[in-house]
Amino acid sequence: MEEITVSDQGENSLYITYLYNALAGILARIGGCEELILGERAALRIRADDEEGELRNALKERLTEIVGIGYKYRYLSGKLNAALSVHDKNLLCAALIAADLEGDKSYIERKIGEGHEYNIDGIYAFRLGPLREKWQHIVEYVPAGFSANDLKQFCDFLVGESKNKVYLQGKTVFGENFKPLRRSWLFGKEDTETEIMLSDAGFVYCLGDVEDEVSEFLQKFYAERAIFS
């Protein structure tokens, strides 16, 4: 039986908790187990027979999300000086992350490497310097006077360029494979609007009634690309 340990600073325990929840289904299917350890360092200890490599592939995918979404959100939100509300600033961060997410994830995956122990904060500090430089350039491109109207125009461009589809039922966002998306948790809490933005969605298919707050968001950013049924 293979054992893998993933750890991060205690203050980043939400990333380890995200990983714990994200891998639960696969581990149940292949007969593995996981132990969540919270303290000065947060850690996840995984034990499983992974002959097909399914667990290893899923683990790498989630690690790239933790860095490419969670760490990048923390970086951007701490450095952007845009003239936006907290809510709109989060949407801007989500849009900026989504715009480069696949490229960032591909780079992060190459730097993670293979092994049985992954220290996320160490990987970020010592292997991803060029990625942080790229993120700093993004920060420098966003002027301090970046307004809600600028955010609308930027998101209109991204939405117009995207052919990705997501499905919305209640507060839950589903990907094209109809699996629920939970990546907004890496911002600190699950949020429907953030989830849609992180998905780089070009079209939102609404299955049933939509809450007023989300409806306003869709009218603003997906006026002609939200489909109701």
Taking only the tens place, the pLDDT of each residue in 142-173 is 999 999 999 999 999 999 999 999 999 999 99
What pLDDT, in 10s, does the model give residues 56-75?
999 999 999 999 999 999 99
DSSP 114-148: S-SEEEHHHHHHHH-HHHHHHHHHHHHHS-TT--H
- Indicate the pLDDT class of residue 105, thresholds 50, 70 and 90: very high
Q: What is the pLDDT of residues 2-15, one digit of tens each?
A: 999 999 999 999 99
Residue of 177, 181, 229, 223 whose CA lies nearest to 202: 223
- Residue 229 has a pLDDT of 83
Q: What proportions of the chain, in percent to the nearest 5, are helix, strand and coil?
A: 55, 15, 25
Three-state SS at 57: helix
The strand pairing partners of 105, in sequence order, are: none
State mean pLDDT over 38-45.
97
Percentage of the chain exceeding pLDDT 70: 100
* Whole-number Å distance between alpha carbons of 85 and 66: 25
Predicted confidence at residue 52, as pLDDT, reads 87
Specify the pTM. 0.96
Q: Whose CA is closest to 26, among 4, 3, 48?
A: 48
Q: Which of 91, 72, 61, 73 is nearest to 179 (CA)?
A: 61
What pLDDT is attached to residue 51?
Answer: 86
CA Rg, the chain, in Å?
A: 18
CB 3 within 8 A of CB 116: yes
Tokens 């450095």 locate to 79
